[in-house]
Amino acid sequence: MTEQLEATDVRADATKRGDELQTVNPATGEPGKSYPRMSMDDAHAAAAAAHQAYRNWRRTSFDERAGVVRKAAAILRQRKDELAQLMTDEMGKTIDDGRAEVEKCAFHCDWFADHAHEYLADERVDIGGPEAFVTYNPMGLILAVMPWNFPFWQAFRAVAPALMAGNGMLLKHASNVPGCALAIEDVLHEAGVPKDLFRTLLIPSSDVEALIKDDNVAAVTLTGSVAAGKAVATAAGSVLKKCVLELGGSDAYLVLEDANIEAAAKIAATARMVNGGQSCIAGKRFIVVRDIIEEFESALVEAMRAYEMGDPRREGTRLGPMQSVKARDEIHKQVTDSVAKGARLLLGGKVPDRPGAWYPATVLADVRPGQPAHDEEVFGPVAAIVAAEDERDAIRIANDSEFGLGSGVLTGDPDRGRRIAAEELDAGLSFVNENVRSDPRMPFGGVKYSGYGRECGAFGIREFTNIKSVHVKALEHSVGSATE
């Protein structure tokens, strides 16, 4: 399981030195801060304490929980610059993207503070007889295994609804963002979350299976690779514990012949370059009907060219480093292997001669099955253009993937786009004429190898509740007395 979960800890440059995690600045390759690891005995003790804290927290009111979660939102906004800088230092996120991520976390906290009571309100059911209703009880202690690419958002996406539902949480974060992981704990404790109710555990991946099997842990949520998802699902299944998995994606965008090509190219570039291309829901395959493919290739190259590499600490930088040199080298190999198998390189595709994990915005055309750019998830700034004969062929190509997270349709006819998005694409999310993104107000998750279960919205908060049916009938008066 250790090797599989490293895909979540991930492609990390964090160096394991004895009992420490050593971070590395992706922009420079220089070592950053180091953090002490936690022993497995301490992790099990934290789980026991968190379970005890949950037993008290579940008895609090929605108003009490909301006050704490809203305060967390306020603290996030107050510390936005500091937290954004931490992301830049540990995984290379641009400072602008880091600030936006913290703001999104704050909005998410406010949303669930305001709406959890509605999402989890008792639901009356008319069964034609006694009183019947559905109620949502907290499940217990949730283990969250989280990745590095959105180190605050991924964690808060899980923790805000979990706390509002009355659950506790343990966070096992990726090994290259330990400072972010501890900062999340600090924000929540400062906001008033009981110290034992939420804990960050700086443990290696080899300890995750044992923690899943700890009797104090009720369920697990993971965002990460397919391999990591399989490992966590296997461990959870062996002890019959629920898990929610948000895994990889190879999001396809259909570019139809009636689309405004320049506008479509800008949306495609925005979709591809989310977080420097290091996002499960980044657009990765652009399936273009052949009638407009040459024009779209030129327009996409120009749109992607605008994402110049620059210092991630500087405002206005659009493309920072990849999260590690190892990850950058994997991306480059996928590009070169694709070109060797017939893809055309239209832009980028060369490793810069400079320290750090840099890779330029890259565009590949003539992408076909058998090439890594077509068959695999490329976790970096590489756009793949795939030719289709017509709408039906484009839908076939889009669905011919092991993944099913996000998808898009770029068309001049919104009704046409609505039909394709709603009825034809095998994905958990489908957006028409805009780039795919997560939102606290809408369910988020995938199908096929992109995982199962949902986060966000009413569906997300209910994932880690006991959805209980209750019947209530008045006891009929007995005839006579016990002495007769």
| pLDDT exceeds cutoff 70 at 406 | yes
Q: At what angle do helices 62-78 and 178-191 cross, to 10 degrees?
A: 130
Q: What is the pLDDT of residues 250-267, one digit of tens each?
A: 999 999 999 999 999 999
Across the range 386-408, mean pLDDT stands at 97
When mean pLDDT is compared across 15-29, 120-134, 387-401, 413-427, the lowest value belongs to 15-29
When mean pLDDT is compared across 6-20, 86-100, 321-335, the lowest value belongs to 6-20
**Residue 476: band (very low, low, confident or very high) from pLDDT cuts 50, 70, 90:** confident
Q: Helices (H), strands (E): how many in the chain?
A: 16, 19
The answer to whether residues 407 and 421 touch, using CB atoms and an 8 Å cutoff, is: yes
pLDDT at position 362 is 98
pLDDT at position 245 is 98
Q: What is the pLDDT of residues 16-35, one digit of tens each?
A: 445 889 999 999 999 999 99
CA dihedral 455, 236, 184, 207 (to 10 degrees): -160
| pLDDT exceeds cutoff 50 at 4 | no
Burial classification of residue 118, based on how many CB atoms lie within 10 Å of its CB (0-12 exposed, 13-18 middle, 19 or more buried): exposed
pLDDT at position 10 is 35
Residue with tokens 């009704």: 415
DSSP 298: H
CA angle 150, 152, 155 (to 5 degrees): 95
Q: What value does the mean pLDDT of the chain take?
A: 95
Nearest to 274 by CA among 101, 461, 84: 101
Across the range 220-245, mean pLDDT stands at 97
**Residue 3: band (very low, low, confident or very high) from pLDDT cuts 50, 70, 90:** very low
| Residue 185: φ, ψ to 5° | -60, -40
pLDDT at position 479 is 53
User: Per this entry, what is the length of the chain?
Assistant: 484
| pLDDT exceeds cutoff 50 at 14 | no
**Residue 480: band (very low, low, confident or very high) from pLDDT cuts 50, 70, 90:** low
Cα–Cα distance between 185 and 173 in angstroms, integer?
Answer: 11
The H or E element containing residue 471 is: strand 465-472
Those residues with Cβ within 8 angstroms of residue 42's Cβ, 6 or more apart along the chain or in another chain: none
Sheet hosting strand 15-17, strand order edge to edge: 15-17, 20-24, 31-36
Residue with tokens 């420490």: 20
Across the range 371-399, mean pLDDT stands at 97
Across the range 72-78, mean pLDDT stands at 98
Structure tokens at 24: 């590395």
Nearest to 112 by CA among 79, 75, 161: 161
Structure tokens at 262: 């320049």
Q: Is the dihedral angle over the CA atoms 228, 231, 235, 240 positive or is it negative?
A: positive
pLDDT at position 19 is 83
Cα–Cα distance between 83 and 95 in angstroms, integer?
Answer: 10
The SS3 assignment for 344 reads strand
Q: Which residues pair with 136 in a beta bridge?
A: 467
The answer to whether residues 388 and 287 touch, using CB atoms and an 8 Å cutoff, is: yes
Cα–Cα distance between 472 and 302 in angstroms, integer?
Answer: 66
- The set of catalytic residues is 246, 280
% residues pLDDT > 70 (the chain): 95
pLDDT at position 139 is 98
Cα–Cα distance between 295 and 317 in angstroms, integer?
Answer: 28
